[in-house]
Amino acid sequence: LMKMKPFYAEKVWGGDFLSRIKGRKKSSPIGELLEVSVLKDCPSLYNDMPLYNFINENEISYCVKFIETTQNLSIQVHPGDDYAQEFENSRGKAECWLILEANPGEGIYLGLKDGVTKERFCDAIEKKEDLNELMNFYPVKRGDFFFVPPGSIHAIGKGVLLLEVQQSCGVTYRVWDWNRKGLDGKPRDLHIKQAMDVINFGPNMNNKEFFQYSPNGCADTNEYEMATHTDFSFKMLEGKKGEKIEVNLNTRGRPTSVICLKGIVGLNRAEEKQRLSEYMTVVCPKGDRPDKLMVEILSDECFLAIVH
């Protein structure tokens, strides 16, 4: 059971909450905690060494991160597997978001409004229009869930804290950045050509149903599935004090990650034990065969994210 240390990603739109919960001294704004990452330029750490020293990138095809926003993220899009392989030597990037907290009225920009064609969008870029005016905006609250396939234009709005599970890919094509400057005082790079190559303009790929919108992430069982993709499976597990819940590991033939979102739990795998509290993560390396993790709920209630 590998207790992880995150990679702290400084972002112009980040805040200080994620730093504070990890007991880190105040620094530049932190936008992302990469809890489980084998990406070369932003790896999470185990025993103060990059995770890719212990688990290679072929074994772990997903990435898990917390994101905190005090400003809007850039309007952006990610490529699918074929395009990313050809032009970036990478897998593509499908991702999903579980909203943990949001200021009232804040939300996300996701997909294009009805009737926005490629021509209209290109024209707006040429004329330096505010591109968010062409996009759907969804106010969010704790428990909301979205699946964001490659090619979906999006931006997480300000005042949001979420858990993101994604393919292990660092490729982002930035389309518009709200006319602001980056941490270095210069405008951040845009990637218009690549973005136009991959954006989904079809009406059926820009509506709420396409993004598997769920107004809350709850079901009547202890464990329930949020999203399934070739490169990751994302489940939620909830329990009350004193419960012991068995979790199957290696169900997808790769390491399982356990992220505590609320409460305190004890983890037991064979002879190994770990204790997790909020915003802590453990990676369970792949064994020779599928095995079990026993989760004991130690607080009044608990929510865990399980990623295979």
Q: Count how many Cα atoms sit within 13 Å of the Cα of residue 52 in the half-sphere of its side chain.
A: 14
- The CA-to-CA distance between both ends of the chain, in Å, stands at 14
Rounded Cα distance between 168 and 218, Å, is 26
Does 252 participate in catalysis according to the annotation? no
Q: Which of 174, 252, 254, 269 is catalytic?
A: 174
Pairwise CA distance, residues 125 & 144, whole Å = 31
List, by residue number, the catalytic residues. Answer: 174
